[in-house]
Amino acid sequence: MLLLVGLGNPGPAHADNRHNIGFMAVDEIVRRHCFGPGRKRFLGEAFEGAVAGHKVLALKPLGFVNRSGESVGAATRFFKLAHAEVVVIHDELDLAAGRLRVKRGGGSAGHNGLKSITAHVGADYRRVRLGIGHPGDKDAVANYVLHDFAKADRAWIGPLVDAVAEALAMLVAGDDAGFMTRVALLTRPPEAAKPARPEGEDRGCDGDGV
């Protein structure tokens, strides 16, 4: 079984915040893979489903980001899960907007949700880091993550969470590298069509053509 946790803050006032991209990804996963209806469990909203033959519990902790560990810890203990069976999807300031990386273990890099989870279950769980970019000033971080995405960000948010949901089977199977590659391919912008070269145009060779 895989416990798939999306981080965010509950309530409509926070729904479009940068901090809530983990919730957005879980919502799309639940929709795309036809998970069952949400139920209040483990201090959060839990959805049961299956992906590529693997049982998955998608969890959105509802105690606000900085208390996410209470929810994750409750579910992890109930199912007696190993660290490799816990995957946390969260916003990442240190990645460019629209980029994704998967890692196992490590520090929290100042993310209060990761700090809380580590305090309850240890640090060696898997993390899907969804890049939201950095405001450029550490004193502006709290305001940045707790405000809504800009309208221009919609160009990459939808494709990114769609790609996470589409490539999920690889993540569930433990193929983190394959998952990252697949998401990168799915979110790669299409190459602009090259304009046709007018007849007789210089083809860029050196010299005068003699």
In a domain, 107, yes or no: yes
**Span 49-84, pLDDT tens digits:** 999 999 999 999 999 999 999 999 999 999 999 999
Domain containing 135 equals 2-187
**Span 82-125, pLDDT tens digits:** 999 999 999 999 999 999 999 999 999 889 999 999 999 999 99
Please say if 19 is a catalytic residue.
yes
Strand order from edge to edge, sheet including 86-92: 39-41, 44-51, 54-61, 2-6, 86-92, 126-131, 100-104
In a domain, 96, yes or no: yes
In a domain, 31, yes or no: yes
In a domain, 44, yes or no: yes
Q: Closest Cα to residue 125, out of 155, 85, 95, 156?
A: 85
Going from the C-alpha of 86 to that of each of 35, 76, 184, 197, 201, the distances in angstroms are 18, 8, 22, 54, 59
In a domain, 160, yes or no: yes
Is 65:91 a contact under the CB 8 Å cutoff? Answer: no
In a domain, 90, yes or no: yes
Is 48:29 a contact under the CB 8 Å cutoff? Answer: no
In a domain, 196, yes or no: no
Q: Which one from 14, 19, 54, 90 is the annotated catalytic residue?
A: 19
- Considering just the CA atoms, what is the radius of gyration of the chain in Å? 20
Q: Using 50, 70 and 90 to split pLDDT, how confident is the model at 173?
A: very high
In a domain, 204, yes or no: no
Say how many domains are in the chain. Answer: 1
| CATH number of the domain where residue 157 is located | 3.40.50.1470
Q: Which 3 state secondary structure label does DSSP give 210?
A: coil
